Amino acid sequence: MKTAAIYARVSSERQRDEQAIGSQIEALLEFAQTKELIVPSEWMFQDEGYSGAVLSRPGLERLRDLVYEGEVETILVYSPDRLSRKYAYQVLLIEEFTRHGAEVVFVKSPQGSTPEEELLLQFQGMIAEYERAQIAERSRRGKRYRARSGLVNVLSGAPYGYRYVKKTENSAAYYELVEEEAEAVRNIYCWYTEEGLSIGEITRMLTSSGIPTRFGKGFWDRSTVWAMLRNPAYKGTACFGKTEKADRKRVTRSLRKRGGFSPRCSSNHERPREEWIEIAVPPIVREDTFALAQERLERNKQLSRRHTKEPTILQGLLVCSLCGYALYRTSTRTSKRKIYYYRCLGSDNYRYPNGSKCDNRPIRQDYLDELVWEKIMDLLEDPELIHKEINRRVQETQNSNPAKLRKETLIKEITRLQKGIDRLLSAYQEGLIELPELRIRIQSLRKRETALKSEQQSIEAKMIDQTNNLRLINHIDDFLSSIRKSAEDLSILERQKILQLIVKEIHVDYDTITIKHSIPTTKLFTNPTGISGSTGHSNVPGYLLRGRRHKSDAR
């Protein structure tokens, strides 16, 4: 009698719970008896909870190793889609088994011996692949629909600070606050936005304080804190569909050495913010606090002090107007001293295969630092400009037509939902609908009402309170006065902090320096976007920022 190995697979937890794999093995053993095949107990391979769209399955790997040793004569599989959901994988495995002397027999689809039977088998494989794609698409659209309905069970799990409560017959799934963890989240945002601590300092404080992570570990990672600072769930709007899988575009040097192949040739990419689906959850931090954290995270990409040996006041603020690359600091040594310059990254030949991308020349660091600091001090000499800017932003926010219109629409929608709930309760009291139907219909209305109220609170938080801004204006004069008194005694790092608060970026052209910030300067210069000078302005003094051999002056 011939010996045979059997292989069975189920892909979902539900099939595993229903013991669907047991029925497959039973059918395969009965088929082996009818064909007078002997199946050793150690030759029954099974994969529970593994997708048929991948080949990396432990049971299948052991079966392939056994076939490679040449000990298996026949392989019994219930149907082609149990071997793989992809037709190409089916052909690959069948050819591999045949090459090592093993015949593959399907119980529900016998192996074809004629061209017609082989064609039928191929059609079955293609249909199985189509069904899998159809199931995946239905699942994706079903999740999007549930997410738009405000259900949190489509999310991958509750983040740190929350506990996921499963749905019951009377209520849907929801996030519940874990107060100890929520307090740690509030501290993280406070340290980062108010005290200005770095992510590394925050991780060290959490570890030294003995605060456990979600999994009970005593050591915190920087990546964990970074992800918490970016998670919109903490402001009350968890988001579905933030990332998507895509091919890995970046080919590193180590990957090129391996021939361009990697077992992880896909990666998660963040989708556009407007495509995210917001789901209302209990907030832990205020929305303005979360917005401030996002602003600082984005700013730190540009102004990070990592690997900086000697800081400069314009570090991370300089941008080349010609090519868009940043400027870095370099130096040259003369017979008397060492001189520092700012140089465009695009002007370096060694960085690019086809040579430099920009012909912008280096610029003296000490001259440019002094010029920018002087102009910023001139700007701060007139606090009335800052007062006008704050008042303008307050009026712009309060008179924002889209925000007002959206708020009015939300109020009308919430009122309509509340009236609908009242009508359902009246219909139940009059016996027009049964209790199960009432529970189903009123539950969807309650979810929609919660989502709308959360959006209304979000819009109201964005509208700046006039009283708070007036209180801020009263303290600005004292702040500017203290800066002017100690401006000459400030260190480089202190000046750097002041410039980073006021200046967004500084554009360097051939013979023009443009300082971009959020305060209008129409009273000082004709250019409202910043401080600018050129060779054509006779009223603006000139500053020699480049050497004469470059035949270019910059103002």
pLDDT value of residue 552: 42
Mean pLDDT of the chain: 76
Per annotation, catalytic residue among 11, 84, 347, 454: 11
Helix (H) or strand (E) holding 448: helix 435-462
Average pLDDT over residues 328-346: 86
Strands 103-106 and 74-77: parallel
Q: Is the pLDDT of residue 62 over 80?
A: yes
Question: Does CATH number 3.40.1050.10 belong to domain 2-144?
Answer: no
User: Which pLDDT tens digit goes with each residue over 11-46?
Assistant: 765 555 455 788 888 888 888 888 888 888 888 898
Average pLDDT over residues 377-389: 72
User: What is the distance between the alpha carbons of residues 56 and 50, in angstroms, rounded to a whole number?
Assistant: 9
CB 218 within 8 A of CB 210: yes
User: What is the distance between the alpha carbons of residues 357 and 540, in angstroms, rounded to a whole number?
Assistant: 31
Question: Given pLDDT bands bounded at 50, 70 and 90, which one contains residue 355?
Answer: confident
Domain boundaries, the chain: 2-144, 154-247+266-303, 318-380+483-550, 401-462
pLDDT value of residue 461: 65
Q: Is the pLDDT of residue 346 over 80?
A: yes
184 Cβ contact list (under 8 Å, min separation 6): 160, 161, 206, 211
Q: Which of 101-115, 136-150, 407-421, 441-455 shows the lowest per-residue confidence on average (mean pLDDT)?
A: 101-115
Average pLDDT over residues 299-317: 73
CB 521 within 8 A of CB 530: yes
Q: Which residue has the higher pLDDT, 127 or 510?
A: 510
Q: Which two tokens stand for residue 8?
A: 């069975």
Q: Is the pLDDT of residue 251 over 60?
A: no
Percent of the chain with pLDDT over 70: 73
Question: Given pLDDT bands bounded at 50, 70 and 90, which one contains residue 555?
Answer: very low
Helix (H) or strand (E) holding 124: helix 115-148
Q: Is the pLDDT of residue 206 over 80?
A: yes
- Three-class DSSP category at 361: coil
User: Which pLDDT tens digit goes with each residue over 490-513?
Assistant: 787 888 777 877 788 889 888 888
Q: Which of 304-318, 341-355, 494-508, 538-552 shows the lowest per-residue confidence on average (mean pLDDT)?
A: 538-552
CB 69 within 8 A of CB 78: no
Residue among 152, 207, 158, 156 at smallest CA distance from 184: 207
- Residue 208 annotated to the active site: no
Q: Which of 150-164, 180-194, 256-270 shows the lowest per-residue confidence on average (mean pLDDT)?
A: 256-270
pLDDT value of residue 202: 92
DSSP one-letter string for 384-396? HHHHHHHHHHHHH
Phi and psi (nearest 5°) for 238? -70, 145
User: What is the distance between the alpha carbons of residues 300 and 234, in angstroms, rounded to a whole number?
Assistant: 21
Average pLDDT over residues 306-317: 75
The DSSP call for residue 157 is -
Q: Which residue has the higher pLDDT, 405 or 367?
A: 367
Q: Which residue has the higher pLDDT, 554 or 484?
A: 484
Q: Which residue has the higher pLDDT, 372 or 477?
A: 372
Q: Is the pLDDT of residue 162 over 60?
A: yes
CA angle 290, 414, 460 (to 5 degrees): 30
pLDDT value of residue 535: 33
506 Cβ contact list (under 8 Å, min separation 6): 314, 317, 318, 319, 372, 513, 514, 515, 516
The structure's pTM equals: 0.49
Question: Given pLDDT bands bounded at 50, 70 and 90, which one contains residue 203?
Answer: very high
Q: Which of 9-23, 42-56, 268-282, 467-481 shows the lowest per-residue confidence on average (mean pLDDT)?
A: 467-481
User: Which pLDDT tens digit goes with each residue over 83-102?
Assistant: 887 777 777 788 888 888 88
Q: Is the pLDDT of residue 420 over 70?
A: yes
User: What is the distance between the alpha carbons of residues 127 and 28, in angstroms, rounded to a whole number?
Assistant: 23
Q: How many CA atoms lie within 13 A of 156 on its CB side?
A: 7
Average pLDDT over residues 124-142: 73
CB 146 within 8 A of CB 124: no
Q: Which residue has the higher pLDDT, 428 or 264?
A: 428
Q: How far is CA 127 from CA 11, 82, 83, in A?
A: 17, 13, 14
pLDDT value of residue 134: 72
pLDDT value of residue 186: 93
Q: Is the pLDDT of residue 185 over 90?
A: yes
Q: Is the pLDDT of residue 116 over 80?
A: no
Q: How far is CA 257 from CA 37, 262, 265, 321, in A?
A: 48, 11, 15, 37
For the chain, how many residues are written? 555
Average pLDDT over residues 238-259: 66
Q: Which residue has the higher pLDDT, 474 or 164?
A: 164
Pick the CATH number of 154-247+266-303 from 3.90.1750.20, 3.40.50.800, 3.30.70.360, 3.20.20.140: 3.90.1750.20
Average pLDDT over residues 208-228: 89
User: Which pLDDT tens digit goes with each residue over 423-442?
Assistant: 888 888 888 888 888 888 88
Q: Which two tokens stand for residue 261?
A: 């192949």
Question: Given pLDDT bands bounded at 50, 70 and 90, which one contains residue 527?
Answer: very low
pLDDT value of residue 540: 43
Strands 266-270 and 338-344: unpaired
Q: Which residue has the higher pLDDT, 372 or 248?
A: 372
CB 371 within 8 A of CB 553: no
Question: Given pLDDT bands bounded at 50, 70 and 90, which one contains residue 188?
Answer: very high
The residues pairing with 122 across neighbouring beta strands, listed in sequence order, are none
User: What is the distance between the alpha carbons of residues 551 and 397, in angstroms, rounded to a whole number?
Assistant: 48
User: What is the distance between the alpha carbons of residues 147 and 442, in angstroms, rounded to a whole number?
Assistant: 18
Q: Which residue has the higher pLDDT, 399 or 199?
A: 199
User: What is the distance between the alpha carbons of residues 273 and 48, in angstroms, rounded to a whole number?
Assistant: 37
